């Protein structure tokens, strides 16, 4: 039984949470942000060292401009506004995703959060924004090509990822019931355990992370070998 070092979460169901209450989808996203904070604290309490959160996919640009603008404003203002909290909790922020296409304000907020939290060691919070697993692989291969590489290996590709020092996720979980990866961590998920939970993201809290960890500890990982 290996311990849960890296938990990755596909935070889904904000829209459905709002719809059930006849509220605008934006309210669901705002509630989702509250869950994010609870889950972050819960993860620290459970001894998790890396938490990766899928915040915005390379496909989410297809949503109405109003919703995309709202989410971009959340990334710009809330990440920046929470730097003090991250430092108090000992949380190191890392950015995972494609910079091209993101508004400068969001990039500045992310860069600043990364810089101002870089010495923190309690937990590393990897924020996947404008992230796509296919894009991550293509960007890495393009970096290798531009360096004159003639033949790739899985190790070489991975070495060109945004955060190659962060180990692959042990457990990838998704809220709100759907059982798919939606382009999240396609390369590193090779041997990740997967977990799907019906609870909508705005209903997640510290206790849910305890449940998730307990579920993970029941898994038997073989990585293609024998026990």
Contacting positions for ligand IPE (CB under 6 A): 10-16, 54-57, 60, 71, 176, 178, 180, 182
Out of 12, 130, 183, 188, pick the active-site residue. 12
Helix 65-81 and helix 25-45, axial crossing angle in degrees, nearest 10: 40
- Could you give the angle at the alpha carbon of 213 between the alpha carbons of 207 and 218, nearest 5°? 135
Based on the shown chain and the rule CB under 5 A, indicate whether residue 12 belongs to the binding site for Mg ion.
yes
Q: Which residue stretch of 6-14, 31-39, 51-59, 216-224 sits at the interface with Mg ion (rule: CB under 5 A)?
A: 6-14
Is residue 71 a contact partner of residue 144, using CB atoms and an 8 Å limit?
no
In whole angstroms, the minimum distance from the beta carbon of 14 to Mg ion comes to 7
Q: Which is nearer to Mg ion, 36 or 91 (CB)?
A: 36
**Residue 57 binding result from ligand IPE, Mg ion, none, given CB thresholds of 5 to 8 Å by partner type:** ligand IPE
Residue 60 falls in the annotated catalytic set: yes
Q: Which is nearer to ligand IPE, 129 or 140 (CB)?
A: 129
**Residue 11 binding result from ligand IPE, Mg ion, none, given CB thresholds of 5 to 8 Å by partner type:** ligand IPE
For residue 128, list its beta bridge partners. Answer: 54, 96
Question: To which residue do tokens 């393009």 refer?
Answer: 142
**Cα distances (angstroms) measured from residue 144 to each of 136, 156, 157:** 13, 8, 8
Based on the shown chain and the rule CB under 5 A, indicate whether residue 200 belongs to the binding site for Mg ion.
no
Q: Which is nearer to ligand IPE, 91 or 173 (CB)?
A: 173
Out of 14, 22, 60, 215, pick the active-site residue. 60
Question: To which residue do tokens 């992310």 refer?
Answer: 110
Based on the shown chain and the rule CB under 5 A, indicate whether residue 193 belongs to the binding site for Mg ion.
no
In whole angstroms, the minimum distance from the beta carbon of 32 to ligand IPE comes to 6
In whole angstroms, the minimum distance from the beta carbon of 124 to ligand IPE comes to 19
In whole angstroms, what is the distance from residue 107 CA to residue 206 CA? 29
SS3 124: strand
In whole angstroms, the minimum distance from the beta carbon of 201 to ligand IPE comes to 6
Q: Which is nearer to Mg ion, 115 or 178 (CB)?
A: 178
**Residue 182 binding result from Mg ion, ligand IPE, none, given CB thresholds of 5 to 8 Å by partner type:** ligand IPE
SS3 171: strand
In whole angstroms, what is the distance from residue 89 CA to residue 167 CA? 21
| Sign of the CA dihedral with 211 first, then 213, 218, and 222 last | positive
H-only helix segments in 46-123: 65-81, 83-89, 104-116
Which residues are the active-site residues?
12, 60
Q: Which residues bind Mg ion (CB under 5 A)?
A: 12
């Amino acid at each position: 039984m290996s311990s849960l070092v890296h938990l990755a979460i596909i935070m889904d169901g904000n829209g459905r949470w709002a719809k059930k209450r006849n509220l605008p989808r934006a309210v669901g996203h705002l509630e989702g942000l509250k869950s994010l904070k609870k889950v972050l604290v819960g993860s620290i309490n459970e001894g998790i060292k890396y938490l990766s959160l899928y915040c915005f996919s390379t496909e989410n640009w297809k949503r109405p401009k109003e919703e995309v603008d709202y989410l971009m404003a959340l990334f710009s203002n809330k990440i920046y506004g929470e730097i003090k909290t991250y430092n108090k909790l000992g949380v190191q922020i890392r950015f995972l995703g494609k910079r091209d296409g993101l508004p400068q304000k969001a990039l500045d907020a992310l860069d600043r959060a990364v810089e101002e939290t870089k010495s923190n060691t309690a937990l590393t919070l990897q924020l996947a924004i404008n992230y796509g697993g296919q894009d991550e692989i293509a960007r890495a291969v393009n970096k290798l090509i531009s360096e004159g590489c003639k033949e790739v290996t899985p190790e070489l590709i991975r070495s060109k990822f945004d955060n190659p020092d962060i180990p692959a996720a042990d457990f990838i979980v998704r809220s709100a019931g759907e059982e798919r990866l939606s382009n999240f961590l396609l390369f590193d998920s090779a041997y990740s355990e997967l977990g799907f939970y019906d609870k909508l993201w705005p209903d997640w809290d510290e206790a849910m992370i305890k449940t998730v960890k307990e579920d993970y500890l029941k898994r038997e990982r073989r990585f293609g070998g024998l026990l």
